[in-house]
């Protein structure tokens, strides 16, 4: 794959934002990577070009039937100014799983990775230097064929945009309060819960808005059939520590196979802790809390890395976790994962790829 490169003229580069107030996704960089797919031709016209609007036909199929998938990963500025990516090939492989489920074309992982690296290399000044800040990378694929019939599109656009993002916890860990919903569900067996596809997030917004209105940060999702098995929290996978055992729901098809989840499982197994990937009901969690055996709850995902849960609200009852404080395992996972990601610590798992 040849990558055409068109650079923004030096005088037209955007001013870099203040690194102490980046937020999440508010700023985008100067360039993007794009390529086009046509049935019968495959992917073509790969290019790094100035960040700009797309022109889409109003009948573009993504706007009507939602064939849209995405990924999220980060570039970190480590020692000696070197730039590292965390498990990038796993994100691109997962994108192909999402693509298969949505009847969208496969990408060539190695080739797209070359495109991703070319883009990040051109934008390396955008990788923040502030502690905890990173360059968030958003690969996306959408159906662009114009047509109003419901079927797989024949034309797609793949693009990668970049956004410098601030530290998730600028003042240290802040355990979140969680609303356990038994009104809404995120995904159903046989559905698309294990694909990173746009519709899943559209479907989740109402529960999140209602939870926020009542003062909670995130929603905990239960399974759609029995409304009792724990699935995920917001857009993160979830872990419990009960009687010193680390428990997370299995990849049953309705939850997203998180790369942070997989990394946490590998680390806690390496540390010799008992680990179970098994179904767990919300009643089991609350019972463990009432008998003092629930030690920690935390979410895992690229954005926050580790997000400690301080309380769970379910059916009129509020259940505090570890007196609202961050537990020792959450803290250790956060510290060690970050140390690997920023290159402050050896990387025994070979997760980091140097740009």
| Positions that interact with ligand PLP (CB under 6 A) | 72, 196, 232, 235-237, 256, 258-261, 300-302
Q: Which is nearer to ligand PLP, 134 or 289 (CB)?
A: 134
Q: How far is the CB of 301 from ligand PLP (least distance, A)?
A: 4
CA of residue 327 relative to chain centroid, distance: 23
Q: How far is the CB of 263 from ligand PLP (least distance, A)?
A: 8
Under 8 Å between Cβ of 34 and 46: yes
Q: Which is nearer to ligand PLP, 46 or 222 (CB)?
A: 222
Q: How far is the CB of 230 from ligand PLP (least distance, A)?
A: 13
Q: Which is nearer to ligand PLP, 204 or 326 (CB)?
A: 204
Q: How far is the CB of 12 from ligand PLP (least distance, A)?
A: 33
Q: Which is nearer to ligand PLP, 237 or 322 (CB)?
A: 237
Q: How far is the CB of 55 from ligand PLP (least distance, A)?
A: 28
Q: Which is nearer to ligand PLP, 72 or 343 (CB)?
A: 72
Distance, in Å, from the CA atom of 284 to the CA atom of 229, rounded to the nearest integer, reads 9
Q: Encoding tokens for residue 56?
A: 């889409």
Q: How far is the CB of 152 from ligand PLP (least distance, A)?
A: 22
Q: How far is the CB of 18 from ligand PLP (least distance, A)?
A: 26
Q: Which is nearer to ligand PLP, 218 or 237 (CB)?
A: 237
Q: Which is nearer to ligand PLP, 37 or 221 (CB)?
A: 221
């Amino acid at each position: 794959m040849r990558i055409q490169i068109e650079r923004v003229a030096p005088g037209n580069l955007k001013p870099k934002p203040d690194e102490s107030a980046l937020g999440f996704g508010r700023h985008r960089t100067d360039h993007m990577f794009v390529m086009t797919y046509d049935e019968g031709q495959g992917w073509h016209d790969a290019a790094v070009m100035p960040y700009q609007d797309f022109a889409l036909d109003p009948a573009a199929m993504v706007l009507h039937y939602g064939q849209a998938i995405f990924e999220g990963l980060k570039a970190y500025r480590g020692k000696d100014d070197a730039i590292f990516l965390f498990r990038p090939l796993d994100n691109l492989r997962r994108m192909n799983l999402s693509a298969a489920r949505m009847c969208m074309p496969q990408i060539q992982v190695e080739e797209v990775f070359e495109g991703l690296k070319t883009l990040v290399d051109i934008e390396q000044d955008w990788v923040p230097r502030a502690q905890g800040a990173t360059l968030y990378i958003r690969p996306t694929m959408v159906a662009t064929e114009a047509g109003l019939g419901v079927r797989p599109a024949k034309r797609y656009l793949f693009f990668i945009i970049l956004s410098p993002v601030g530290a998730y916890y600028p003042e240290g860990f802040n355990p979140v309060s969680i609303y356990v919903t038994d009104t809404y569900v995120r995904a159903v067996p046989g559905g698309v819960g294990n694909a990173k596809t746009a519709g899943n997030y559209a479907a989740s917004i109402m529960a999140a808005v209602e939870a926020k209105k009542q003062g909670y940060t995130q929603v905990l999702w239960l399974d759609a059939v029995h409304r009792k098995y724990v699935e995920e929290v917001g857009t993160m996978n979830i872990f419990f520590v009960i009687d010193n055992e680390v428990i997370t729901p299995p990849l049953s098809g309705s939850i997203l196979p998180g790369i942070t989840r997989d990394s946490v499982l590998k680390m806690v197994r390496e540390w010799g802790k008992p680990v179970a990937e098994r179904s767990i009901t919300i009643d089991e969690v609350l019972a463990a809390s009432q008998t003092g055996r629930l030690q920690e709850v935390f979410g895992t995902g690229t954005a926050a890395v580790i997000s400690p849960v301080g309380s769970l609200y379910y059916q009129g009852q509020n259940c505090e976790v570890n007196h609202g404080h961050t537990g020792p395992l959450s803290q250790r996972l956060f510290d060690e994962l970050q140390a690997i990601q920023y290159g402050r610590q050896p990387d025994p798992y070979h997760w980091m790829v140097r740009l």
